Every structure is written in structure tokens, then in C-alpha cells.
Amino acid sequence: MLTQQDAFSIGIVIHDFIFGGSERIAIRLANYWAQQGHPVVIFAGASEGEMQNLLDPAVHLVIAPQPLCRSASSMTQLARKAAQYFQKNPVKACFVPGNYHWPVAYHLGKLPVKVRPVILTQISSPIYKPGRAAWAQNIFNMRMRILLKKSDRLIALDCTTAQQANQLFRRSVTDVIPLPALCGSLPAPRMPDAASLNILAAGRLTHAKGFDLLIDAFASVSRRYPSATLTICGAGPDHQALQDLAARKGVQDKVRLTGYVTDIRPYLDEARLFVLSSGGKDTALLF
């Protein structure tokens, strides 16, 4: 453990504790850093959400004055409030946990040099998505350059994204660090039964995650493999719409929406296939 004199203080900003991959990883990192003896503070826009109970007591939680509900402008409001907080309560470094939170990096970068933290910003989804129009891609690239220009380092989850980010910024600014999605102390996953056709997906139930495309694809798979099942772990505003879609496709008895789960490891252990459906129209199921 670090002594207080050696401790390196760390700040993290998240909108709230509603289930999401970036937020969950941010909580895991906060817990780990706090357990290593670092002073860690999470500045959140609201206390709403299921994941707050995952937070280690050693992590200091600060909720923004006048808590924010998610809206088109709420992330920018949160970024300004976070910058104001860290100007008065400086830390050595701040971790920005993903694309949705990028405005935080921009506003932290505007702080006076004496209190400005080292800014580490994660790229949590692909820079170039299949099916995105050229004009939309140009806007995305411009927004990325503006919001992340003051970040000291970018964190990509894979080498391709890192190379693309470096090309956009015309310098080597990106490191590759895979997400710590599962606890390293867990035993190795077991192999599923060879006859199992259980399919698993996980994430917030929103349009961006592509679960509607996944259910569409699964309906085709189900006709060829009648024993196949699909489980989607996660909560979100599209829950009922996805249930209705499964019913329209005639697979309502084979599609299970679990809602929020604390840990997907038991579901992973039972799955033959994990599908990441947020890639867009190119989503496919292969056995």
C-alpha cells in the first residue's frame, strides 16, 4: 500500500450509476486504485442507478449540486460542474471513461495550469462505424479533435482504434489498454456443453447497442437452429420495444431480457457464443 505522502490522487467523472459498460469499468478502476492506497474521487451528475452499490467505501463520491438528469445538454453541464469542482479540489490525474463523457476532457483542459490534472481519456467505441455517412464521419472526427485536443493521453481498447486516433491527431497520443471487464482473481471460464446453443449479449438497452439488429439476426438463426436461445443482460429505455420486437419475430419464448445484473460471469459460463452487436449492420451470428 502507498503511504499518504506517496499517494497519487485520481478523479473520475461519470454522469450517473445507470448500467453502462464505460461506467462499470470506471467503478472497477476506482475501486482498484482506492484499494492500492490512492485517494480516489468520483464526481457524478446524479446518484441514480443500480451500480452505486458496487462502489468501494474507500472511494469518495461527490454528487453535483442540483443533480442532472440525462438530456442532450446534460453532459456539457456536468463537464462544467466537474471542472469547477476539480479547480477547487485539485487531483493529480482525471480519467474520462468513454466517448459519452468526452466533454469532460475539454472542460478540464481549460483549467489553469496550477490546478489542471493530467487528463486520460478513453475511446470506448469505434471511431469509424460501418454505415456511417461521410458527412457524419467528418463531424465525428472534428468533434473528437476539439474535445480531446487537451487530453494528455488517449486510451484505446485495440490497436486499430489507436492507429486511427493517432492519424486524426497527427501524433502518437494513444495507448492500448484492454478493458478490465472481469476480475483477474476469478477461475478460468469453463467450456460450455458442446450441444449448447446459448447466445449472450450485454449492454445498456438503447438503439446504439444494436440489440434490435441482433434479435432480427437471431430470428433467422432460430429457424435453422430451433434449440438456440438468446440472452441479453442489461437495462434501459428500449426494454419493452425489444420484447415487442421478439414477439413480432416469433422468438419471444427464446429471447430472455434479464434486466440489470451485477455480474454477467454466470451467463458467460453458460454461453456458447457472445455477440457484440453495437458494430452496426455488419452484425452476424456464427456457430
Positions of the chain with pLDDT under 50 = 1-5, 182, 280-287
> Yes or no: is domain 10-176 CATH 2.60.120.10?
no
- Give the whole-angstrom CA distance, residue 195 versus residue 25: 33
Q: Give the residue carrying C-alpha cell 492500492.
A: 36
Picking from 2, 106, 101, the residue whose alpha carbon sits closest to that of residue 44 is 101
> Cβ distance 118 to 132 under 8 Å?
no
Amino acid, single-letter form, for residue 7: A
> Cβ distance 152 to 119 under 8 Å?
yes
* pLDDT attached to residue 196: 74
* pLDDT attached to residue 236: 86
* pLDDT attached to residue 283: 39
* pLDDT attached to residue 284: 40
* pLDDT attached to residue 153: 97
Contacts 24+ apart (CB under 8 A), 174-179: 174/123, 179/21, 179/25
* Helices of type H across the chain: 21-35, 74-88, 102-108, 134-148, 159-169, 211-224, 239-248, 265-270
Residues with Cβ within 8 Å of residue 182, at least 6 apart in sequence: 265
Distance of alpha carbon 125 from its chain centroid, rounded? 8
* pLDDT attached to residue 204: 85
DSSP state, residue 233: E
Q: Residue 91, SS3?
A: coil
* pLDDT attached to residue 178: 81
H helix count then E strand count, the chain? 8, 11
Bridge-based pairing of strands 153-156 and 174-176 is: parallel
Picking from 189, 113, 101, the residue whose alpha carbon sits closest to that of residue 148 is 101
Retrieve residue 149's grid coordinates: 485536443
Q: Which is it for the CA torsion 78, 84, 88, 94, positive or negative?
A: positive
| pTM (two decimals) | 0.77
* pLDDT tens digit sequence for 3-56: 444 579 999 999 999 877 888 889 999 999 999 999 999 999 999 888 888 899
Sheet architecture: strand order including 198-202: 255-259, 229-233, 198-202, 273-274
> Cβ distance 39 to 60 under 8 Å?
yes
User: Helix 134-148 to helix 159-169 angle, to the nearest 10 degrees?
Assistant: 80
Residue spans of the domains in the chain: they are 10-176, 198-279
- Give the whole-angstrom CA distance, residue 237 versus residue 20: 13
* pLDDT attached to residue 281: 43
Same fold, 10-176 and 198-279: yes
**CATH code of the domain occupying 198-279:** 3.40.50.2000
- Give the whole-angstrom CA distance, residue 257 versus residue 241: 11
